[in-house]
Structures are given as C-alpha cells and as structure tokens.
Amino acid sequence: MSAVIYPGSFDPITRGHIDIICRAANLFDKVIVCVLNNSTKKSSLFSLDNRVNMVKNALADEASGDIFNFDINKIEVASDDGLLIDFAKKNDVNIIIRGLREVTDFTIELQMAQANNTMAPEIETLFMPTNPKLSYLSSSMVKEFASYGKSVSAFVSPSVEEEIIKKYSQNYSK
C-alpha cells in the first residue's frame, strides 16, 4: 500500500492545505496528515490538540462539500511534538509531500527536504505545486484578516472559521 505523510503546523488549516491533501489522496492509498510544531515560527495561535481537531473537522466539512473531491477514508490525522523524520520512521512511511506556492517557499522547502534526507536518507520529500487559484493563501494571512474582524470564509472550512471566530470574538464580523 502506498502511503505519504503531509506534515505542517496547520495554524490553522486552510483550503490551500486541503487542496494538497485532496490531490495527494488521489495519488496515494493513504495520506497521513501530521500536525507538528514549527520552531522557526513564533508561538502558535492554536494548541496542537486544537489544530488536530480543526484538521479533522475541516476534512469532514470539505468531504461533504462541493469544492473538493476526495475519499476521506484514505486520510488519517495525527500529531507529534518531535521531529518529522522520527514520526515518518515510527509510522514506516518514507515519502513526505509538501506544497509549493512560490519561489520563497522553494528555498525553505529545499533546505528542509535536503536536511531531512541527510538525516534519514530513506525518506524522500516530493513537492506538489499549489493550485494557482490558492497560491496566495497562507495561515498567517488568514489570521491577519481575522484579527481585524474580517470574515475568512473564502479561505478556510466552516468549522475552522468557527474556531477563529472564538479566538477573535470581540471584533469579528461575518
């Protein structure tokens, strides 16, 4: 059975992430979405548990919606507070997939893929170009708009927007 890990901090998961998960699920028998911490980013808005729940709920939203077409049964959601390569080894999966939005992503992603491959040569990273319609989208941008009270319903799944509303409830307008 072919399996791939799609790792990220998902703070929070956006429709850009869902697009990659959906396309990966069309290529592999199993996609393990792994929620991790990114030590290069300042502290997360949402806790690890909260991010995992948002990923699960967003996938459930989109599986029954009409934007994406994927088999939710092929997707597992996990989390880890350690290294990605150790998670991959524990789960006996040696392919990682990462989405590339634009050139600045490439520089960082190449470095991460090469570092991981040096530490664990059996683990390969594959890059998937994002859907051009979603290439501007990032979790940081979603948080920025939401923090100023703007609706982010175009960028995230309904259940994720609900969580964001709870965080920024004081000045949020739908």
Catalytic residues: 17, 41, 101, 139
3-class SS at 132?
Answer: helix
Q: Which of residues 18-37 bind ligand PNS (CB under 6 A)?
A: 36
Extended strands (E) in the chain: 3-8, 30-35, 75-79, 95-100, 124-129
DSSP run (H or E) holding 97: strand 95-100
* 48 forms part of the interface with ligand PNS (CB under 6 A): no
* Rg of the chain over all Cα atoms, to the nearest angstrom: 16
Decide if residue 7 touches ligand PNS (CB under 6 A): yes
In the block, residue with structure tokens 């739908």:
174
Is 171 a residue that touches ligand PNS (CB under 6 A)?
no
Our CB check for ligand PNS shows the closer of 90 and 171 to be 90
Residues present in the chain in total: 174
Six-digit token string for 123: 């683990």
Q: How many residues bind ligand PNS (CB under 6 A)?
A: 11
34/135 Cα distance (integer angstroms): 21
Nearer to ligand PNS, 76 or 149 (CB): 76
Is residue 140 within the footprint of ligand PNS (CB under 6 A)? Answer: no
Does residue 112 interact with ligand PNS by CB under 6 A? yes
Residue of 2, 38, 47, 153 that binds ligand PNS (CB under 6 A): 38
Q: Given the rule CB under 6 A, which residues bind ligand PNS?
A: 7-9, 36, 38, 41, 83-84, 112, 115-116
